Structure 1
Amino acid sequence: MDQDILMSRDHPGLAEVMKLKDVIRADQVAQDVWEDCLARFMGINRTDSRCMDVIDRHGKITAGTLASEARLTTGAVTVVVDRLEAVGYVVRERDPADRRKVWISITPIAGEISSRVFAHFQLLTPLLISRYSPDQLSAIVEFLEVGTRVNLELATILEQHVDRKGTTPQALLVAARQFERNGARHMKAMIDALLNGTPDK
C-alpha cells in the first residue's frame, strides 16, 4: 500500500480510520474496566480470570495449551489452576485413553455463574442481525481476527524488550525505538501476506 496515499489527509476513508482507532482505544478501556470488575466479582485476579476465559472457550484444555494461549509459563499455569481448583471454578481430570494427559475444564457452577453474568450480551444478537448484513458481519469478524493476531504477535516482540531488572524512562525510550523498528518490519510482512491472501502458517 502506498504510504503517501495512506497518510494523505485527503485520502478517502482516512477520517473514518482515525475515528475507528479512537473507538478501538475506548473499547479497550471499557473491556479493561469490565474485566477488572468481573475478576473482583469472582474473587480472583486478572490472570486467573484470563485463564478461566481460555478454558471456558475450549471446553476442556491441557495445561500446555492453556500456557501457550494465556502467554504464561507452565509453572505459572500450574499455580493458576491450583488457585482456581481450590475455589471450585475448575477441575482436573485424567484422560481415560491416556492417563498421562490431564484435562482442565470449568466446573458446572462456574459455568452457570459465567452464563448468567454474560447473559445480557446475548441481547446484542438481534441488534447485530437486524442492523448488519452477513457480509458486514463477516467483515467485522475478519477485522477482529486480524486485530487478535496483530496484538498477540506484537506482544511476543515487545516481550523481548522487557527489562526484568527494572529500567528508567530514558532506557524505555531506547527500547521503544527498537521495538518500533522490529514491529514495523513484522507488521509490513504480515500486512503484505494479508493483502495478498497468503494463508496463516
Structure 2
Amino acid sequence: MSSKVPEDARQRRRTTATIKESLRGLRVQLALFNHQVGSRVDLKDVDLDCLDLLAQHGPQNPTALSRRAGLHPATLTGVLDRLERGGWITRDRDPSDRRAVVVRVLPDRNAEMFEHYRGMNTAIDDLCEAYSPAELAAIADFLTRATAAGKQATDQFTEQA
C-alpha cells in the first residue's frame, strides 16, 4: 500500500517552508538595518529595541519594560542610562507614587528616529500597493499571529531556563 502524500499537502508544506525561510530572511534584514540605524545614532541594538518598546507601548516603569524586553533589571539600567544620556528618553517620578519612576520617549528625538526609517516605511508602503485590501488584511492577520506565536515561544523558552 502506497503512502503517497497528495499534491496539495506537498505544496502546502513547500509553501509553509518558504514562508518560514522568508521570515528568517526578513528577521536578518531588519536586524542588519536596525544595526546600521543604531550605529548612526550611537545606540546598541538592545537600546533600539527598548526605545521601540517605549514608543509602541507608551510610558512605563522600568520593571514593566524589563519584563517586556526580557532583560535583567541591571542590564536595563545600563540601557536606560545610555538612552537618557543620548536624550532619547526621560525618567520622571510617577505622579501617583513619588517613589516610582516612569520612563518615556522624548517626542523630538522620536521624530528624528522616524526619519531614519523613512526609506524602509516608504518601501513597505509601495510594496503594499500591489495587494488588494483583502490580501492586505490576510497579511496583517498572519503577521499579527506570527508575532503572537513568537512571543509565546519566547515566554515558553524563558520559563524553561
Coarse TM-score class (shorter-chain normalised): 0.7 to 0.9
Matched with 2:83 is 84
Determine whether 1:69 maps to 2:40: no
Of structures 1 and 2, the one scoring higher in RCO (CA 8 A, sep 6+) is: 2
- Superimposed CA distance per residue, residues 28-64 of structure 1 (whole angstroms, 9 cap, x where no aligned partner): 1111211211221121211111101111112322212
1:153 Cα deviation from its structure 2 partner = 2.2
Question: Equivalences for 1:88-103 in 2 at 5 Å?
Answer: 88-103=87-102
Matched with 1:112 is 111
Q: State the alpha-carbon separation in 2 of the partners of residues 161 and 115 from structure 1.
A: 36
Matched with 1:44 is 43
The alignment's TM-score, normalised by the length of structure 2, stands at 0.81
- Superimposed CA distance per residue, residues 100-158 of structure 1 (whole angstroms, 9 cap, x where no aligned partner): 34221122332121121112234233542x32233322221221122222222222333
The alignment's TM-score, normalised by the length of structure 1, stands at 0.67
Determine whether 1:125 maps to 2:129: no
Gaps of 5+ in 2: none
Please report the RMSD computed on the Cα atoms of aligned residues, expressed in angstroms: 2.5
Q: State the alpha-carbon separation in 2 of the partners of residues 135 and 19 from structure 1.
A: 21
Aligned residues: 156
SS of corresponding position for 1:105: strand
Matched with 2:28 is 29
Identity rate, percent: 24
- Superimposed CA distance per residue, residues 10-29 of structure 1 (whole angstroms, 9 cap, x where no aligned partner): 21433322222221121111
Q: Return closer, same or farther for 1:93/1:9 CA change in 2, 3 Å cut-off.
A: farther
Q: State the alpha-carbon separation in 2 of the partners of residues 34 and 121 from structure 1.
A: 9
Gaps of 5+ in 1: 163-201
Q: State the alpha-carbon separation in 2 of the partners of residues 9 and 75 from structure 1.
A: 54
Q: State the alpha-carbon separation in 1 of the partners of residues 116 and 71 from structure 2.
A: 26
- The code of the aligned residue for 1:45 comes to K
SS of corresponding position for 1:61: coil
